[in-house]
A = this chain, B = another copy of it.
């Protein structure tokens, strides 16, 4: 079908003004007078809708008049400038073909619906202004991330989702199985007989692709992953989902400083890309979702991120312990309230906190010379707290092995990982960016359920 996208009409209007065009889209609202009327139609390609004027010259005028919100129509007519009106142009309809009727019980009538309600109709909510904006920005953000890394010749690696290992030894995992749960086969001693399972052993859904990613960084120097990740944590918060997407770059011949430079450039690149490619959506968020959003993002673009060591951060926070629910002291993990205080009140911009106590960080992080801290970094941003967590990796075989043993991890499971330190080990570092947190940060949306098309959370797996 020869339809023109409404985006195209807005972006290249000179080409189409005073010409006959055909568009297809869905009725957002309709107003009828005696012998003419207006339809506001959106085709999903552009945030701003398009006004259609129709009159009783139409063959099916009586039918068009009675259209319900949500109906699909194909309109042919002249695109005419409307210098006196809010919108730049409208179509004077010569033909309105009705593709699909709607009905008066259409759940998205022209009024404000609560996010809670819209979550119950996840198959329809992308047809509202807010979610149209959210999910276009989500798409553009994903692409900006790919573009950033590909322009720098990073290799995109698909790390596996189903895994036989538990990676970081942290995070509760979902089991994956083809066994009949009604009748689990067992060995003589009563334990599960995994030889009957698809993979011949217990398997889970991954909590991180990092260790696999590292093996590829040792081949390609610079790689990134971008894929789904899972947590079976029973945490019902606005920031946690059981299924989410994560970006994990890994760079070889690189240290923690290189890692932070990469993270900062990436965030700025993505912000710039979204501001440039979705100005209408970003203005909408700024006006209706999070006033001050654009100022904040522009401020980030124009500032160097702050840097502070964990030890220095604790000193700052301890002086303000009266402000916190959880009091801090050296050795404790930072809570969101502390992270936000640092980035919002102290630095007033994104800040990297580095060199955390080894006890609160993962086994693979490089031990600093003080023997107490590791070369880790968290990037904290206003409004969110931690958005990125990364580290330089322990590249010394003996130190890594010692740490694996110290923590009681199964050495055999990490044979492949130790091999990387045996054959051509080199300084390397990487980080993880929670994709949904990034979208929340860019849009000002406050609940992770509202930036995932079909969110999965405790007790919730609809559609």
What CA separation (Å) do A158 and B99 show in the bound complex?
27
In the complex, A303 has a CB within 8 A of chain B? no
Interface size class of A (residues with CB under 8 A): 35 or more
In the complex, A434 has a CB within 8 A of chain B? no
What CA separation (Å) do A148 and B124 show in the bound complex?
26
Task: Report whether A421 and B132 are in contact in the complex, using a CB–CB cutoff of 8 Å.
Answer: no
Task: Report whether B146 and A99 are in contact in the complex, using a CB–CB cutoff of 8 Å.
Answer: no
In the complex, A326 has a CB within 8 A of chain B? no
**What would 14 more interface pairs be, CB under 8 Å, given A72-B424, A126-B216?**
A1-B255, A7-B153, A24-B221, A99-B426, A124-B423, A136-B155, A136-B220, A143-B150, A146-B146, A161-B243, A176-B205, A184-B184, A199-B456, A227-B227
- Most central of A26, A153, A232 by chain B CB within 10 Å: A153
Are A220 and B103 also in contact (CB < 8 A) when A1-B254, A199-B460, A243-B161 are?
no
In the complex, A160 has a CB within 8 A of chain B? yes
In the complex, A71 has a CB within 8 A of chain B? yes
What are the residues of chain B within 8 A of A203 when measuring CB–CB?
A: 461
A-B contact pairs, 9 of them (CB 8 A): A5-B153, A26-B424, A74-B253, A124-B423, A160-B454, A165-B463, A174-B178, A182-B192, A198-B458
Copies in the complex: 2
What CA separation (Å) do A70 and B420 show in the bound complex?
10
What are the residues of chain B within 8 A of A459 when measuring CB–CB?
A: 198-200
Q: For residues 12 through 68 of chain A, which have their beta carbon under 8 Å from a beta carbon of chain B?
A: 24-27, 43-45
What CA separation (Å) do A432 and B434 show in the bound complex?
27
What are the residues of chain B within 8 A of A205 when measuring CB–CB?
A: 162, 176
Are A453 and B158 also in contact (CB < 8 A) when A215-B123, A216-B126 are?
yes
